[in-house]
Amino acid sequence: MKQNKENKKRFSIKFHIFTGVASLSVALILVLWIFHGIFLNAAFKMAKESDIRRAGNLLSDNIDESDISALISQVSREYELCAMFVNAKTGEQLYKAHMLNNCILCGLTDSAALVSGWHAEAAKNDGECTIILPRNQFKDFDTDKDLVEKNSSEKCLIYTKILTNAAGDEYLLILNADIAPIPATANAVRIVLALATVVFCALTIFISLLLSKNLSKPIEKITKTAAELRAGDYKVRFEDEGPQEIRELADTLNAMTTELDRADSIQKELVANISHDLRTPLTMISGYSEFMRDFPSEVTPENMQVIIDEASRLNSLVNDLLLVSKLQSGAQAIEMKKICLTKVISDTVKRYETLLSHKEYKISFIHDGDVYVSADETRLLQVIYNLVNNAINYTGEDKTVTIRQDVLDDIVRISIIDTGEGISEENLPLVWDRYYKIDKVHKRAILGTGLGLSIVKNILMLHNSRFGVSSEVSKGSTFWFELKVIDK
């Protein structure tokens, strides 16, 4: 167990963030060093090729300058190269500028051969030519004669360009540049890269620690709070701090906690209410049975009917509980068929009028004609009974319940309206929960078991029906549902 805890601590989110950022940094540093080792010479070569062409174009554009020699010297210093400016016809060297040690141009033994060979090579390539050759392969193009001593295997970059001034005179510009970085430059790059590596490593450690701390802190708080939630404390709140994703997680967990707290309260209330509804008929059955046992002369039809009625109520409660469970689990199937919805409601109203005639309830059904729908008649009858029962239980002192049938296009809406105390807006979404009581005071229903609206909700959902409730405090409530008309 101790070893497991040590492993969890070792591989915490801080550890993963730190190692992740550190690994990325190490990879970047390695890439930098690899690029330095592999591509430094290639990059230097590309830069020199670009510089030497830029220098050649600059001199070509300013060929008619009066002080061309000064410009050649300036370009030679600026681009770190050696330059030779010769007469293309005579081979005479007009200007020279040297910025390199052991320059190939300085070591030429036959300038005329160079001019002839490179002039011809440039002429083949639209007036300019760039070539990279080892020093010991620098030869005359015509005679294959070595133009410098074979004293080095280093490569050099030779650029030649044919220039023509305004007077029509033709010249040959020859530029030479090293294409390998000098040792001092390479060493400077390595030193700078080494310093950058040290600074980069230090910054990586600092940023990794800071980042891992900032990201893990809100997650650790969420984990701690979640442990309290797991222990059964549904009043906890998750702190919404940190990055957006963590704040969204905290908001989601807070919403879940609120729902768990509400579900826990409803569950406790459900148990209390069911216990109450079970205890009442059981007490009645037990009391009357004992009474008739102790006083055989009191075994009368009236007393027996009390026991039968309470047993029936108890059976109804158990059946409703089983039905709710089946509906919510999907185990309860429905059989759809064409029925006359208007007739079903009319027959139901007649039965209620007979049942409640002595209690002065007024139940009216307003409709314009028969409407047919596709539904499970038995289950739909349960919906109507439960909604009417609910309206009877909570209607006002006028004891009036109104049922309306309204048809719009191919949709029929059934509304059951009472004149009771109504429901506040914040409580409206909760009325469909099992045994939810607005006033939190359990009241034994006049008719039904207290699970009616939950049964209504699940049956209507099986019918893909829209349903809802609208209410205004002190003015009553309207429960409604809609079905598709198949034949008016």
Q: In CATH, what number is assigned to the domain containing residue 476?
A: 3.30.565.10
pLDDT tens per residue, range 155-171: 778 888 888 888 888 88
The answer to whether the CB of 432 falls within 8 A of the CB of 455 is: no
Q: Do 306 and 342 fall into the same domain?
A: no
**Mean per-residue pLDDT over the chain, rounded:** 78
- Of 48-57, 141-150, 246-255, the range with the lowest mean pLDDT is 141-150
Between 102 and 161, whose confidence is greater?
A: 161
Residues 444 and 347 in one domain: yes
107 or 284, which is more confident? Answer: 284
Shared-domain flag, residues 430 and 473: yes
Q: Quick one: pLDDT at residue 357?
A: 72
| Tokens coding 196 | 């950058």
Give percent helix, percent strand, percent coil of the chain, each to the nearest 5. Answer: 55, 20, 25
Give the residue, 247 or 115, on which the prediction is more confident.
247
Q: Does any domain span residue 372?
A: yes
What is the C-alpha to C-alpha distance for residues 153 and 141, in angstroms, rounded to an integer? 19
pLDDT band at 483 (very low <50, low <70, confident <90, very high): very high
On whether both 344 and 310 belong to a single domain, the answer is: no
CA distance 264 to 270: 10
In whole angstroms, what is the distance from residue 187 CA to residue 436 CA? 81
Q: What is the mean pLDDT of residues 224-242?
A: 81
Q: What single-letter DSSP state applies at residue 183?
A: H
Q: Of 251 and 190, which is predicted with more confidence?
A: 251
pLDDT bin (cut points 50, 70, 90) of residue 111 is low
Same domain, 358 and 319: no
Report the run of H or E that residue 402 belongs to, with start and end. Answer: strand 400-408
Contacts of 476 (CB under 8 A, 6+ apart): 395, 396, 417, 418, 419, 420, 421, 422
DSSP state of 358: G
The whole-angstrom separation of Cα 479 and Cα 469 is 4
In the chain, pLDDT over 90 holds for what percent of residues? 11
For position 142, what pLDDT does the model report? 44
Evaluate whether 345 touches 363 at the Cβ level (below 8 Å). Answer: no
For the question of whether the overall pTM of this predicted structure is more than 0.75, the answer is no
**What local confidence, expressed as pLDDT, does residue 485 receive?**
93
pLDDT on residue 442: 40
Residue 138 placed within a domain: no
Question: Are 374 and 439 part of one and the same domain?
Answer: yes
The verdict on residue 22 lying in a domain is no
How would residue 445 be classed by pLDDT, with cut points 50, 70 and 90?
very low
What is the pLDDT confidence band of residue 210, given thresholds at 50, 70 and 90? confident
User: What is the C-alpha to C-alpha distance for residues 68 and 29, in angstroms, rounded to an integer?
Assistant: 47
- Of 265, 297, 327, the residue at which a domain comes to its end is 327
* Residue 235 reports pLDDT greater than 90: no
At residue 187 the predicted structure's pLDDT band, cuts being 50, 70 and 90, is confident
Residue 148 pLDDT greater than 50, yes or no: no
Count of structural domains within the chain: 2
- Residue 121 confidence (pLDDT) above 70: yes
295, 430: one domain: no
User: At which residue do the structure tokens 């940094």 appear?
Assistant: 25
CA dihedral sign, ordered 466, 472, 474, 475: negative
464 domain-assigned: yes
Is beta strand 400-408 parallel, antiparallel or unpaired with respect to 170-178?
unpaired
Residue 376 near residue 327, CB atoms below 8 Å: no
**476 and 339 in one domain?**
yes
304 inside domain: yes
In which domain, by residue range, is 446 found? 334-487
The enclosing domain of 306 has a CATH number of 1.10.287.130
Domain boundary among 293, 327, 361: 327
CA 108 distance to own-chain centroid: 70
Count of CB atoms within 10 A of residue 132's CB?
12
- The predicted-structure confidence for 127-138, as pLDDT tens digits, reads as follows 888 877 665 555
Q: pLDDT tens digits, residue range 261-318?
A: 877 776 776 676 667 667 767 887 888 888 888 888 877 888 888 788 778 777 777 7
Residues 309 and 357 placed together within one structural domain of the fold: no
Which of 301, 327, 353 finishes a domain?
327
The Cα angle at residue 474 between residues 471 and 475, in degrees rounded to 5: 55
Residue 135 has a pLDDT of: 56
- Judge whether 1 lies within some domain: no
Closest CA to 390 of 436, 441, 459, 344: 436
The pLDDT-based confidence of 46 (bands split at 50, 70, 90) is confident
Which of 439, 467, 473, 474 has the alpha carbon at shortest distance from 453? 467
With 70 as the cut, is the pLDDT of residue 439 above it?
A: no
The secondary element (H helix, E strand) that includes residue 3 is helix 2-10
Instruction: In whole angstroms, give the CA distance from residue 163 to residue 68.
Output: 12
Across the range 319-337, mean pLDDT stands at 72
| Tens of pLDDT, residues 336-383 | 899 999 999 999 898 888 777 777 888 999 998 899 999 988 889 888
DSSP track, 191-228: HHHHHHHHHHHHHHHHHHHHHHHHHHHHHHHHHHHHHH
* Cα torsion 112, 117, 121, 123: sign: positive
Q: Where are the alpha helices (DSSP H) in 93-142?
A: 111-124
Strand partners, 160: 129, 174
Q: Same domain, yes or no, for 256 and 352?
A: no
**Is residue 442 in a domain?**
yes
Burial (Cβ within 10 Å: 0-12, 13-18, ≥19) of residue 156:
buried
For residues 416 and 474, state if they share a domain.
Answer: yes
CB-based contact 141:107 (threshold 8 Å): no
Domain match, 365 and 474 both: yes
Taking alpha carbons only, the member of 464, 456, 325, 477 closest to residue 384 is 456
47 within a domain of the structure (yes/no)? no
